[in-house]
Structures are given as C-alpha cells and as structure tokens.
Amino acid sequence: MKTIVFDILNNDNGSSQALAAAVQFAKENNNYKLKLFGDSTQIKDVQLPDNIEFVHSPNLLKKTENLRDVLRTNSSMLDAIKALSEPDHVAILSSGDSGSYLTMATLKIKRLNNISRPAFMPLIPKRKDGSFLLLDVGANLEVKANYLTEWAKLGSLFYSTMNNTQKPSVALMNIGTEDYKGLESHKEANLILKQNKNINYLGFIEPKDIFDKQKNIDVVVCDGYAGNMILKTMETSFLTMGRLIKEAILSTFVSKIGGLLIKKSIKKLGKKFDYRNVGAAYVIGLEKIVLKAHGGSDKKAFLGALNQIKIAIESNVIEKMKQELSEEANV
C-alpha cells in the first residue's frame, strides 16, 4: 500500500490541525497509508484509524545558520524525510522551515535523471481559472543555463500530467522580452529552449505577463532569486491593495453601505487567492513527491495538501517524469 509520510510537528500552531487533517484523509482514503511523525504525548486523546501509523519523534526542528546542520540534529522532519527510503513511501508533507526541508530533501532523496538541482515550485492562481507553476522560488539564488532549461522540462511535464493536457505553455522570466536582454545564463537558456520541440516555449516574459489572460502562461521558469522576489512581492501587493481598498470603503458612510453590498462578490475572489485553497509548494526534481504546506496551515490547508499529493500519486507524475527524462537523454 502506498504510504504518505507526514511531519505533523513543525507547524506554527502545534500538531492538532495537522492531526485532524490526517485522520480525516485516512478515513476517506483507506487505500492509502499515512505515517505521521510527531510527539505522541500531544495526541493521546485521539483515536487513530488503522491506516495511520504514528512514529514518536518529539524534536522540533531548529533553524540554523549552516543549513547542513539540520541533517545532524534529531527532528521529526528529518525522521520523516529518512522514512522515504522505503520504496512504497512515495510522498512527504511538512509545514516546517522551507530552507531546512529543501536541504534535507535535496540531500536525502534521489534526484531524477538529468536534473542538476531540485526547484521550489508553488502553484499560483491564474487570472481566470486554474493555476500556473512558478519555479524556482528560492532554492537556487544563482543559476546556470541548464538549471533553467531542466526546470522548463520539469514544469512542462508536471503541468501536463497533473492537468491532463498536451504541451502547456512555458516562458522564461527576464527583465525584458528582447533576446539580448538579461543575465548570461538566461540568454543562453532562452536560445536552448527555442530549439526544444518538446516544449511549447513562448520565450522571455516580464512580470506583467504573468497575469495576462491572452498569454495564459502555464509554467513560469525563473532563477530562485527573481522567483522569490516575485512571489513575495505578489503576496504583499495583493494584501496591501486589499487593505487599502478596505480602508477606502470604510472612510465614508456612503461607501460603507456600498461595502456591505459588494461583500459577497468580493468574498468569492478572496477564496480564490486564499492559500488554503491554493495549496502548497512542491520541491520538484526528486524521485518522491515532496510538498511543503504553509507554516500557519490549518486543517483545511493540510487536507488540501494531502489531496494534492493524492492527485500527484494517481496521475503517476513521478513515473512519467522519470520516463520522459530518460527517453530524452537517449535521443
């Protein structure tokens, strides 16, 4: 039976929300096993279903300056990552520190063939429906051209498998759309990707193209430095704009009334951009499904992440990436 490994300890709000999500998911999916890593004293009042195995691993992760130290110190996250050495343990979920998680995953899980570096890859709501992939968003600050071209392949394969579509559109983020602009690594990657007939490559884009309805880009490739800045700026801009609008609406009596009338329509929009529906971020490029949930995840967010993992397992995304990447290498 396929097992999903779950570090329930490293969450900003304790283990209870993660545990509640695990119990519900296990009950609803008795063809899966869940292996939880956490503090057994925190769960003693909870009745676990048969397809949950609980491993007592009570040490919280400590963030350290030298990221490799996380491999030398006991933690539930490290124990969970180590459990993936079992062949039928196919996926992992944690909401702990991204940098540590990434380091452990990178050093403890086998990389896919012909992939130099794993990337951190969130799903972000598109302007209309669905989500697009953004990778890398912080695992690799400085990149070589081949990292970018490999991520373009990974993103394209992942997107087409998960969404059951052919040739998703892929673009490379740059400071301008002209071929001669940007860092050397990006100019080189751009030329290589233009030759790749397996990828529907659109060329360079700028941040303004991300939400362009016409272009409707499925996979946005960037170095981890730009990706990190873009992701965080997007989050803070949306949040700030939302707050400013709220303040403006509350500033007069008339607009307060107007605010009440638009509430329902705006709520729907808020739901679309709620991280709990958007879900988590993948560490992609490895032979296991590695998912990172938001540090402040609640039951709903964890349940969403577990269901994302389920879709990834059932669409055989890892096997398909393995196959395509080795086929391409043999051409």
CA pair distance 297, 306, nearest whole angstrom: 12
61: which DSSP letter?
P
Q: Cβ of residue 207: shortest distance to a second copy, in angstroms?
A: 4
C-alpha 102: how far from its chain's center?
A: 11
Residue 252 engages a second copy in binding (rule: CB under 8 A): yes
Mark the segment that binds a second copy (CB under 8 A) among 33-41, 105-113, 160-168, 235-243.
Answer: 235-243
- Sort strands 89-94 and 3-7 into parallel, antiparallel or unpaired: parallel
Is 180 among the residues that bind a second copy (CB under 8 A)?
Answer: yes
3-class DSSP assignment, residue 29 = coil
CB closer to a second copy out of 167 and 187: 187
Closest CB 277 distance from a second copy, rounded Å: 15
Identify which of residues 72 and 197 has a Cβ nearer to a second copy in the complex: 72
DSSP letter string, 152-215:
HHHHHHHHHHHHT-SS-EEEEE-SSSSTT-S-HHHHHHHHHHHH-TTSEEEEEE-GGGTT-TTT
Residue 38 or residue 227: which is nearer to a second copy going by CB? 227
**Position of tokens 């998911």?**
25
Task: Tell me the window of 31-39, 194-202, 259-267, 308-316 that interacts with a second copy (CB under 8 A).
Answer: 259-267
Interaction mask 268-297, a second copy, x per CB under 8 A: xx----------------------------
| Cα–Cα dist 331/317, whole Å | 21
Map 115-142 to HEC letters.
CCCCEEEEEEECCCCCEEEEECCCCCCC
Q: Considering only residues 73, 165, 255, 326, which one is a binding residue for a second copy as defined by CB under 8 A?
A: 255
By the criterion CB under 8 A, which residues form the site for a second copy?
65, 127, 138, 141-142, 173, 175, 178, 180, 182-183, 206-208, 210-211, 225-226, 228-230, 232-238, 240-242, 244-245, 248-249, 251-252, 254-255, 257-266, 268-269
